A and B are shown apart, each in its own frame.
Chain A
Amino acid sequence: MGLQSKHMLGLQHTPAQDILTILDTAGAMKDIIRRDIKKVPTLRGRTVVTLFYENSTRTKTSFDLAGKYLSADTVGLSASSSSVRKGESLIDTARTVEAMGADVLVIRHPAAGAAEIVADNVRCSVINAGDGIHEHPTQALLDMFTIREYKGDFSGLKAAIIGDILHSRVARSNIWGLTKLGAEVSVAGPATLLPPEIEKMGVKVCTRVEEALAGADVVNVLRIQLERQKQALFPSLREYSRLYGINRERLGLAKEDAIVMHPGPLNRGVEIVKEVADSARSVINEQVTNGVAVRMALLYLLTGGEAVETAD
């Protein structure tokens, strides 16, 4: 059984069953990454084009490697070097890339809805690799895959998402995905970094970080985007760190076996201290590996692959 949609635009409209299919398939893909020879011929002759309108080394590299491990041809187009600079519209660029024979278009863009606009105008599959502050489904899928590795199941699980929720596509995608599979999600951050009416997405909203951390199984710490400091949405990094930074003491409020996650890159000493980021509770490096596995699963399933059960 494949997926219901030929695109992966976000988790809001992805059925729970499809999320589970992707996570199951990612398990098998992770086995490939662990091998000495990390290459299978599954996507030989398929072309994956990454179209990045925002700089992102890790997500782009993760997609590139995911494609290469499956033997797809991968090509990257960055907005700074392409015809975008010459004023070509997003739709025109996407149609041009498709006309060259792309099977999957992976797009990252600073404007919300960009991936959906592209999907509406091309015939190939489109993967949203982050659109503005809307969604970043592959990050949420890799977070969920990681959570499942450590916690086994989502139902009744308590997850806390800490930081700049307002500008976080990672938070939005995680909320949709986790709540669909039965987890209880709390979000915490300064009032100026909480989006309006987010409680209607089915989460508990806290301005005190301690409240969100209490009894948590999963602590997902978001990156404070330093460039946002210019807008003065919070008074200083110093005060942010004092009120919301995740340190040993605060982590003590969570369950003893709680895991700590972060989408990276880290601002050490701001949203998370070294002792936590590098502790045994941190699964941050595992997230990076799992990112490749989840993206391999998506490329495979979106190009018509059958779901694969995890070996164990």
Chain B
Amino acid sequence: MKLLIKGGKLVNPEKQLLEKADVLVENGVITAMESSLSERDAEVVEAGGKLVCPGLIDMHVHLREPGFEHKETIATGTMAAARGGFTAVACMPNTNPVADNAPVIRFILDRAAAEGTVKVYPIGAITKGSKGKEITEMADLKAAGAVAVSDDGVPVHDAGVMRRAMQYASMLGLTVISHCEDKSLVAEGVMHQGYQSTVLGLPGMPAEAEEVMVARDIILAEATGCRVHIAHISTAGAVELVRQAKKRGVKVTCEVTPHHFTLTDQAVNGYDTNTKVNPPLRTAADVAAVKQGLADGTIDVIATDHAPHTVDEKEVEYQYAPFGLVGLETAVGLVFTELVDTGILTVPEAVAKLSTNPARIMAVPGGRLAVGEQADITIIDPEALEKVDPGSFAGKGKNTPFAGRKLKGLPVMTIVKGKIVMKDRRVTVSSV
């Protein structure tokens, strides 16, 4: 099977370059990248005026399977990924059972092989049951296919346990992904603590709850030599902590979500539970700081923290609703609308944060377009316009605060291992 992508601008994040060339794909592998290629028996994809990018990788999603299939499954979650322009996702271990042992990792990989539309990289738990007490069999997890470890959503409270986990993960070359939140400072909080929480009468989650743990984990990373990746960074103080740590040479990286660079805690006005997310939507000053962090390279990755819930679960009192929103199908549009169109990031910088950097941090293939590489390719039309309509989402979760928002710059084709899985905003197949 041959595929010829003609006339697009190739995005090469490593060289910060856009070059016009055609791409030939044969048997799932890129076999040629030159101008004016022709191939008689290839399916031709006209990509004039569009950006041909290395396949996007979302290193922070919740696929909810096993255990919470009413919210999302590996099948539906990877369809959402394909529609959002992602050729691979890394899924968090807070399933039921928790992905804290090799059989669960293998189950996820088996399901992904059978029903997944894009590639799935499971992330294993840091502690058994994500209970924060004993570290998991990380060597076994890695051998089964886990690409990193994390207790996302239930941060490791005990510093001694976290230190041990980092020593052990470091020995195995695994990155520790840390959801930084000191629960003792958050207590019953449901939104950012500040003027808005005071006015709305909602318990607040102070910025320092995130920053205290970011500081701790940077110190532990420095002490153990472990590679630590800070998940969904959201405060100005946390960005500054990472910036200073990187200057000292600490092996720390971090990610931000599209909602944290787009929305502020003002969005909670009216008690729309689709704005309830952890970490919470912060202030305008925090949004400015994460944008600065993206621009100066402090923030390496844009990841969605795609967290599907059902409508019934979300149509309740704000304090009772679960945390989380879906991000896979709006991420690229928000990156281009909020960051590229506004000049905060160049196209290659944006693609680096959506592809090259997550691939490097998790040590998985991809992140570059080159002859001989597997053909995971995302084509983005930077001029395409769309109003977000949750009804058109391929994923089960419709819990987005962006319904009705106008986006400019959208993924129009997703190619996984040489196969077109999304074309013109529609998922075309349901398994790889």
Contact = CB atoms under 8 A, between A and B. Distances in A.
A12 interface: yes
A201 B202 CA distance: 16
Most buried by A among B193, B194, B199: B199
Contacts of B202: 112-113, 132, 134
Contacts of A133: 201
A111 interface: yes
A116 interface: yes
Interface in A97-124: 109, 111-114, 116-117
B391 interface: no
B37 to A, nearest CB: 56
Contacts, number: 60
Given A12-B199, A133-B201, A196 B193 contact: yes
Interface stretch (B68-76, B155-163, B316-324): B316-324
B201 A109 contact: no
B284 interface: no
A284 B320 CA distance: 35
- Categorize the interface residue count of chain A: 20 to 34
Interface in B152-178: none
Contacts of A116: 270-271
Nearest to B187: A231
A113 B317 contact: yes
Most buried by A among B201, B271, B319, B320: B201
B317 A200 contact: no
A195 to B, nearest CB: 4
A172 B317 contact: no
A197 B320 contact: no
A91 B201 CA distance: 20
A1 to B, nearest CB: 27
Nearest to A167: B201
A68 interface: no
Contacts of B198: 195-198, 200-201
A116 B272 CA distance: 10
B204 interface: yes
A217 interface: no
Contacts of A135: 201
Given A112-B200, A113-B271, A172-B199, A197 B317 contact: no
A117 B314 CA distance: 12
Given A112-B271, A116-B271, A197-B194, A132 B201 contact: yes
Interface string A151-166: 0000000000000000
A200 B198 CA distance: 10
Contact of B200 (A89, A109, A134): A134
A223 interface: no
Nearest to A172: B201
Given A112-B202, A113-B271, A132 B315 contact: no
B197 A89 contact: no
B202 to A, nearest CB: 5
A28 to B, nearest CB: 32
B320 A111 contact: yes
A220 to B, nearest CB: 18
A201 B200 CA distance: 12
A169 interface: yes
A90 B319 CA distance: 13
B195 A112 contact: no
B402 to A, nearest CB: 19
Main secondary structure of the interface of A (DSSP, over half): mixed
A9 B194 CA distance: 22
A131 B315 contact: no
B319 A196 contact: no
Interface string B199-210: 111101010000
A89 B193 contact: no
B195 A117 contact: no
A12 B318 CA distance: 19
A131 B204 CA distance: 16
Contacts of B194: 196-197
Contact of A134 (B201, B204, B312, B315): B201
Nearest to B270: A116
B195 to A, nearest CB: 4
Given A134-B201, A135-B201, A172-B201, A91 B193 contact: no
Contact of A109 (B204, B206, B317): B317
Contacts of A114: 317
Nearest to A165: B198
Contacts of A201: 198-199
Given A89-B316, A196-B194, A117 B199 contact: no
B201 A196 contact: no
B200 A113 contact: yes
Contacts of B312: 89
Contacts of B318: 111-113
B285 to A, nearest CB: 13
Interface string A235-254: 00000000000000000000
B197 to A, nearest CB: 7
A143 B271 CA distance: 27
Interface in B310-347: 312, 315-320
Interface string B295-321: 000000000000000001001111110
A196 B200 contact: no
A90 B312 CA distance: 11
Contacts of A197: 194-195, 198
Contact of A90 (B200, B270, B316): B316
A222 to B, nearest CB: 15
Contacts of A131: 201
A72 B197 CA distance: 37
Interface string A189-220: 00000011110110000000000000000000
16 contacts: A12-B199, A89-B315, A90-B316, A109-B317, A111-B320, A112-B201, A112-B319, A116-B270, A132-B201, A134-B202, A169-B201, A172-B199, A195-B198, A198-B198, A200-B195, A201-B199
5 tightest CB-CB pairs across the interface, nearest first? A134-B201, A113-B271, A111-B317, A112-B201, A197-B195
Given A113-B202, A113-B317, A197-B195, 12 more contacts: A89-B312, A109-B317, A111-B319, A111-B320, A113-B318, A114-B317, A132-B201, A133-B201, A195-B197, A196-B195, A196-B204, A201-B198
